[in-house]
Amino acid sequence: MPKVTIEDVAQKAGVSIKTVSRVLNQELNVRQQTRDKVLAAMEALNYSPDPVARRLAGGRSFLIGLLHDVNVSPYILDVQMGVLKTCRAENYELLIHPCDYLGNLVPEINALVDRLRLDGLLLTPPLCDMPALSQALHERNLPFVSIAPGEKLFASGAVRTNDRDVSAGMTSYLASLGHERIGFILGHPDHKAVGDRFVGYKEGLKRSKLEFDEKIVAQGFGSFESGFDCGSLLLRQPDRPTAIFASNDEMAAGVIRAARQLKLQIPQDLSVTGFDDIPLAKQLSPALTTIRQPIRAMAESATQLLLGILRAQPPAEVPMIPCLPQYRESTGRRNNASGRH
Fold entry, domain 6-49: 434 Repressor (Amino-terminal Domain) (1.10.260)
DSSP H/E element including 97: strand 93-99
Pairing relation of β-strands 324-326 and 290-292?
antiparallel
* Cis check: omega of the bond before 238, within 30 degrees of 0: no
Helix (H) or strand (E) holding 246: strand 243-246
Q: With pLDDT > 90 as the criterion, what percentage of the chain qualifies?
A: 62
Amino acid making up residue 79 = V
pLDDT of residue 297: 94
Confidence (pLDDT) at 341? 37
What is the reported pLDDT for 184?
98
| End-to-end CA, the chain | 81
- Cα separation, 20 vs 14, in Å, equals 10
The domain segmentation of the chain, as residue ranges, is: 6-49, 63-161+295-321, 163-293
The per-residue pLDDT for 79 is 92
Query: What stretches in the chain show pLDDT beneath 70?
Result: 1-2, 25-28, 49-59, 72-73, 152, 314-317, 336-341
User: How far apart are alpha carbons 140 and 154 in whole angstroms?
Assistant: 12
Omega of the bond leading into 126 within 30 degrees of 0 (cis): yes
- pLDDT at position 340 is 43
pLDDT of residue 71: 76
Q: State the burial class of residue 203 (Cβ atoms within 10 Å of its Cβ: 0-12, 13-18, 19+).
A: middle
Same fold for the pair 6-49 and 163-293: no
Topology (CATH level 3) of domain 63-161+295-321: Rossmann fold (3.40.50)
- Predicted pLDDT at 55: 52
Which pTM was predicted? 0.79
Q: What is the CA radius of gyration of the chain?
A: 25
- Please, which contacts does 191-195 make with residues 24 or more away whose CB atoms are closer than 8 Å? 191/125, 191/126, 191/129, 191/150, 191/222, 192/125, 192/126, 192/129, 192/149, 192/150, 192/151, 193/125, 193/129, 193/148, 193/149, 193/150, 193/160, 193/163, 194/125, 194/163, 194/247, 194/248, 195/150
Q: List, for residues 288-330, the tens digit of each pLDDT value.
A: 999 999 999 999 999 999 999 998 876 666 778 999 999 999 9
Phi/psi of residue 282, each to 5°? -80, -25
Looking at domain 163-293, its CATH architecture is: 3-Layer(aba) Sandwich (3.40)
Residue 95: predicted pLDDT = 93
pLDDT at 56: 45
Q: What is the DSSP letter of 45?
A: H
How many Cα atoms sit within 13 Å of 276 on the Cβ side? Answer: 25
DSSP state string for 260-318: HHTT--TTTT-EEE-SB--HHHHHSSSPPBEEE--HHHHHHHHHHHHHHHHTTPPPPPP
Collect all residues with Cβ–Cβ distance below 8 Å to 246 and sequence separation of at least 6. Answer: 184, 185, 220, 227, 230, 252, 254, 255, 272, 273, 274, 275
Burial 137-167 (b: 16+ CB within 10 A, else e): beeeebbbbbbbbbeebebbbbbbbbbbbbb
